Chain A
C-alpha cells in the first residue's frame, strides 16, 4: 500500500542553522501539508500546498519557514535560523481530495 515517506527520521541541528525536511507524498495525491507536534502536545497545522502554491498557512508559519515541491515528487519544509522552540516532530501529510489526510512517519527535529 502506498505511503507517505519522510527523511530524515531524526535531525539534530545547532540553533541558528537551516534545516530541510523532506517528504515524498503518495504519488496520485494533490494536496500536501506540514504539521508539527511539540513533545507531549497536540498536532498543529503549519501549511497546506496545492497546485504548486501555498493554499493556507497558520500563524506559526512565518518567514522562517518555506515549502517547495522542487521536482514533482518531493515536498520539502525549510526552516531557516532554527530556534530551540522549533524542536518538535514534523509530519508531512498528503490527500487525494479534501477528505482523509495520510501522514508520514514524521521527522523528529532537535535544536541544540
Chain B
C-alpha cells in the first residue's frame, strides 16, 4: 500500500496565484514527520518545509505553508503568490519516527507556473 499519495501528477497555475499541492499519507504511528521537497529541472532536491505530527500549528516557511489535517491524514503544501521559478517537481514525504530513519517519498506533482 502506498504510504504517501500525491494525486496530482501535473498542475498548471497562473503566475501570482496561490497553489495547493495535495498529499495524503498512511501510517499507524503516532509520531511521524512530514516533508515537502522541490526538485527543479536541474535535479537537486531542495528541502522546503517540515511538519511534526505533534506540532499544533501548521508549519510555514516564507511563501510555503503546510496545511496539516491530522484526522484526514492530509499534508497539503500551499504556495502563495506563485512565481515562474516555482515550476518544478514537488515531492511529499514522511518519516515514521519510531520505526526507522528513512524518508518515504510520494510520486510527486509537476507544477508548471504560467506567465
Residues in A lying within 8 Å of B, measured CB to CB: 31, 33, 35, 41-45, 48, 50, 55-56, 58, 89, 91, 93, 98-106, 108
User: Chain A residues with Cβ under 8 A from B100's Cβ?
Assistant: 48, 56
Q: Count of chain B residues with Cβ under 8 Å from any Cβ of A?
A: 24
Contact of A99 with B52 in the complex, beta carbons under 8 Å = yes
Residues facing A in B75-115 (CB within 8 A) are 91, 93, 95, 97, 100-108
A44-B95 Cα distance, complex, nearest whole Å:
13
**CB-CB contacts of B44-86 with A at 8 A, as 1s and 0s?**
1111001010000000000000000000000000000000000
Contact of B101 with A55 in the complex, beta carbons under 8 Å = yes
Choice from B47, B93, B101, B104 contacting A98 with Cβ under 8 Å: B101
Q: Separation in Å of the A10 CB from the closest CB of chain B?
A: 10
A41-B102 Cα distance, complex, nearest whole Å:
17
Contact of A106 with B44 in the complex, beta carbons under 8 Å = yes
